[in-house]
Amino acid sequence: MRFLTVAATALALTMGAQSAFAAPVEIKFSHVVAENTPKGQMANKFKQLIAERLAGKVEVKVYPNSQLFGDNKVLEAMLLGDVQMAAPSLSKFQKYTKQLQVFDLPFLFKDMAAVERFQQGKDGQKLLTSLQSKGLVGLGYLHNGMKQMSGYAPIRTPNDASGKKFRIMTSDVLQAQFEAVDAVPLKKPFSEVFTLLQTKAIDGAENPWSNLYSKKFFEVQPYITETNHGLLDYMVVTSAEFWTELDDDLRVEVKKALDEAIAFGNEVAAEKSEADRQAIIDSPRSDVVSITDAERQQWVTAMKPVWKQFEGEIGKELIDAAEAANN
């Protein structure tokens, strides 16, 4: 009896020691933008909240600026277990689901409030599960903002874009959008954009204000046209395997911290859209071009047929639901 008690105590001590010294669950968070962006700030906030609340149990390591993976590789790496979280732009998921292409349709959302209404509504929330069959889990949306067009010469109408090379993300909708104005779209990783612009290997690009500013694209693009023609937002994703294997109590805490970090990131996105826009306007490096309603209408007329082109893949009901969020 005494032997059993001693053995049980020894076992309990060993197990206690093991859990006391068990390595924390590691969450590698990989992204491609700078730290002073909505995504960079959100990821750092998430790391901070986890360190405060789950020290010794979970550890977040953030890898910004494509240090670990570019967006075109990160989802494959996630499925292999080499990275646990990322927040690629919604334009970079088309290999995994066609439905998210809805977010790339030009001139779909009138402003970020409409985007928020759609993402938080029934259809937007359902899209978070659209990657499930591919082993990925959508944990939430994060805003960046509306995209602007930039170039070496002022771009006011579709005619000004005709024949010019524009860098795009890996999205067939974005390809169709530029082809609709007879431009030449080139799918290139974000990490290459500055050099492509600086060396004039391409003529222009489309980016939200915070990416134009934080990556210094405005220093190598003398004209930025305020087109607000499309959206650049993100989905925070993880692998289903990692997420389901996490202890239930840890999963709840991690999700709570992530939701708070996303809310913080969204505040940063709204502030940065304004502040970075103003910083670019104030800079002598580039001119911000405003277009008239009539000029804007020329872009809408040229690009809107892209909706019909992708209706079969995205689904008309989903497009209608997204458009209805404008009201």
Binding residues for ligand SIN, rule: CB under 6 A, are 32-33, 39, 89, 144, 169, 190, 211, 232
- Min dist CB 143 to ligand SIN, Å, is 11
For ligand SIN, the closer of residues 27 and 232 by Cβ is 232
Report the residue number whose CB is nearest to ligand SIN.
190
- Min dist CB 110 to ligand SIN, Å, is 21
For ligand SIN, the closer of residues 62 and 246 by Cβ is 62
Residue pair 211/224 in contact (Cβ under 8 Å)? The answer is no
Residue pair 138/273 in contact (Cβ under 8 Å)? The answer is no
For ligand SIN, the closer of residues 100 and 246 by Cβ is 100
For the chain, the three-class secondary structure string (H helix, E strand, C coil) is: CHHHHHHHHHHHHHHHHHHHHCCCEEEEEECCCCCCCHHHHHHHHHHHHHHHHCCCCEEEEEECCCCCCCHHHHHHHHHCCCCCEECCEHHHCCCCCCHHHHHHCCCCCCCHHHHHHHHHCHHHHHHCCCCHHHCEEEEEEEEEEEEEEEECCCCCCHHHHCCCEEEECCCHHHHHHHHCCCCEEEECCHHHHHHHHHCCCCCEEEEEHHHHHHCCHHHCCCEEEEEEEEEEEEEEEEEHHHHHHCCHHHHHHHHHHHHHHHHHHHHHHHHHHHHHHHHHHHCCCCEEECCCHHHHHHHHHHHCHHHHHHHHHHCHHHHHHHHHCCC
Q: Which residues contact 291 (CB under 8 A, 6 or more apart)?
A: 156, 157, 225, 226, 227, 299
- Min dist CB 128 to ligand SIN, Å, is 18
For ligand SIN, the closer of residues 217 and 310 by Cβ is 217
- Min dist CB 55 to ligand SIN, Å, is 29
- Min dist CB 91 to ligand SIN, Å, is 7
- Min dist CB 15 to ligand SIN, Å, is 43
Residue pointed to by tokens 């001139």: 107
For ligand SIN, the closer of residues 33 and 68 by Cβ is 33
For ligand SIN, the closer of residues 216 and 251 by Cβ is 216
For ligand SIN, the closer of residues 44 and 89 by Cβ is 89
For ligand SIN, the closer of residues 58 and 90 by Cβ is 90
- Min dist CB 65 to ligand SIN, Å, is 10
- Min dist CB 214 to ligand SIN, Å, is 9
The residues that bridge with 61 in the sheet, in sequence order, are: 28
